[in-house]
Structure 1
């Protein structure tokens, strides 16, 4: 079957006027909120050298990225699939600040394959990253900003699932697993395949320290239980201590803990999280700590942050549709022009009524018109 020229590739879509208006409004609201918390906006290019885009992220990012050859340099370029590596490059190599740096961003990313059957291959990613502070306080700040962002978007936050990559790595190291065995174990835990985990442990008895992980899911009480079920070694204590800190300092957020959650295994180094809304089975915000990514740019810095897809947020939000537009005569004296200017200053959309289009203005969004009545220009319902 020959596809028509106007058909888009699968999992790509246009954003039409009503949705685009809501999306742009939310983008501005979120970026303004980030600014109030000290996060500075940066706008990286959509294309970079592939070795920069994939640095520190493992093969996951490499598989997700569209690649092509630069006709100028002959090097392989990539169309970004995620903006976080770009933030890391900017912090480590371009800004090169000594202290804490807060950066935020908003822009399209492109994936070679959709993340789910209903996902777009061109998410409109918005997010914030905090560099330069290794302490748990930075993770607390980021989680609060996630919750605030979802509140502003009108997306009811049902829960924020939290895991810790450092805990898994500490247990794998304690069990003496090599890199290959750790990869196998990672896949088993991601699939929540308990029978496969038991088979894995049967072949490697030292890995029995990881058997409790799939069952350690729930509220803060899970962390107390984990302290009794997992080995009492410094790295494990440190990871559980960070999770307990979150539970203590974020009592108002709907936190849950999943110690077998290895989201971002090739990328994250500490706390990882995913926020869920009641109207979507998929996570609406993802984030966590990734202290090692900057090493590829010559400067490893502590880092934590999160990202969201504006497309998902506006579909989950409860924002009311904006008022329609006002139709005004396209020509008039200074009094008419002053009336139009005043309406626009108040935030009203005012369209000029170009000749020859009578009866078509409602489809453009007009629900009122500007008419001369009782010695003044007044807004009246369209058609009155």
Structure 2
């Protein structure tokens, strides 16, 4: 048996990658701190109901279950930190009513299966959540912070994919779909199966207006100009649907003003997170990455499960993905300075000063005749010249 093998999808980081991850972690946490988002650290395990109660069955399927040996209760290893942050906001923090609460987090999560074949099951999740404010300003702030996160990571050619679950929910309510009809329609929407949707509508007993609404929704995706088309085609879908479309238009107007180079795509039939999102939903894509690099949306009311319902909006990403977005994504180790392992007061002071300046100083435990400075992780050495210690090239 090969005892050194890791389970499929479980990652570890060797020094060069670990250094890059830690550097990015510090930069992002400093960014969030500057925006007023306070860092919290959540537990690795919680009782299962706390982890999955507000996020739907999909998260429950992604969660590893274990038994608490002290009381026999079922616990879960966190597969998503977002519900933990919502619990902390609603139950652990004493906030004045109406006061926004900005929180950020970073930590490893564990999932039963990867979202893509051969992918990681142990991403390093990073994100920011804003609780206690409902409206365009907080949604815009969080999206803007996400875009700044991608900028820090060196992302290029960012595409923002936007949707609003209020469109789909409003349309379903207006038509009055039964639970069974809704389940069938949502399943076909999730699979983007237009022929199936067309056949189902023809076989069902919908009136002409309802059939038209159900038929046009799956095709309402594309550039920002699709919102004008949506307003025309869904003008009989009710005030809630039209309000959601108008909300998207206002948000896009602000984004285009501040980020004129940002590419924006609209998908009004977006199904991701339908069970818990209550407003806008979005994903970000970047050059060099075949999958989304960040995602987010509004999920008002999640705190109700923990005793204090509050508006909420936020985004999340994977730190491992972020360090791969730069044009120069090759991870390289910083080289150090090799110093003799001798007892010399001047040398000790020089080493102390260099380390305080952020330099890596490695003691020479093996003679250079046996192991070069390069092999010891250094490209420079300390040499004594005229009683003073100086840095010279290892070459």
C-alpha deviation, 1:201, in angstroms: 1.8
C-alpha deviation, 1:246, in angstroms: 1.1
C-alpha deviation, 1:362, in angstroms: 2.8
2:258 is equivalent to residue 273 of structure 1: no
| Deviation sequence 1:223-273 (CA, Å, 0-9, x none) | 111100113421112211110011110101322211111111122111000
C-alpha deviation, 1:340, in angstroms: 1.2
Residues 1:372 and 1:246: Cα distance change in structure 2 (over 3 Å): same
8 A contact 1:328–1:350 mirrored in 2: yes
**2-side partners of 1:88 and 1:207: how far apart?**
39
Which residues in structure 2 correspond to 1:75-224 (within 5 Å)? 75-98=73-96, 99-202=99-202, 203-205=204-206, 206-224=210-228
**Which runs of no fewer than 5 residues in structure 1 stay unpaired?**
none
Alignment match of 2:255 (pick from 250, 253, 256): 250
TM-score (structure 2 length as normaliser) = 0.92
**2-side partners of 1:260 and 1:373: how far apart?**
72
Alignment match of 2:12 (pick from 11, 14, 21): 14
Alignment match of 1:53 (pick from 37, 51, 54): 51
**Which runs of no fewer than 5 residues in structure 2 stay unpaired?**
none
Residues 1:52 and 1:360: Cα distance change in structure 2 (over 3 Å): farther
Task: Give the root-mean-square deviation of aligned CA atoms.
Answer: 1.7
Give the 3-state SS of the residue equivalent to 1:211 in structure 2.
helix
2:345 is equivalent to residue 334 of structure 1: yes
**1-side partners of 2:189 and 2:67: how far apart?**
37
8 A contact 2:373–2:380 mirrored in 1: no
Residues 1:325 and 1:318: Cα distance change in structure 2 (over 3 Å): farther
User: Bigger shift: 33-42 or 197-206?
Assistant: 197-206
TM-score (structure 1 length as normaliser) = 0.95
C-alpha deviation, 1:333, in angstroms: 2.3
**2-side partners of 1:187 and 1:361: how far apart?**
61
8 A contact 1:151–1:157 mirrored in 2: no
**2-side partners of 1:85 and 1:39: how far apart?**
17
**1-side partners of 2:126 and 2:141: how far apart?**
17
C-alpha deviation, 1:146, in angstroms: 0.9
Give the 3-state SS of the residue equivalent to 1:104 in structure 2.
strand
C-alpha deviation, 1:365, in angstroms: 2.4
Residues 1:366 and 1:211: Cα distance change in structure 2 (over 3 Å): same
**2-side partners of 1:63 and 1:324: how far apart?**
44
C-alpha deviation, 1:361, in angstroms: 4.8
8 A contact 1:150–1:157 mirrored in 2: no
User: Bigger shift: 59-68 or 198-207?
Assistant: 198-207
**1-side partners of 2:118 and 2:22: how far apart?**
22
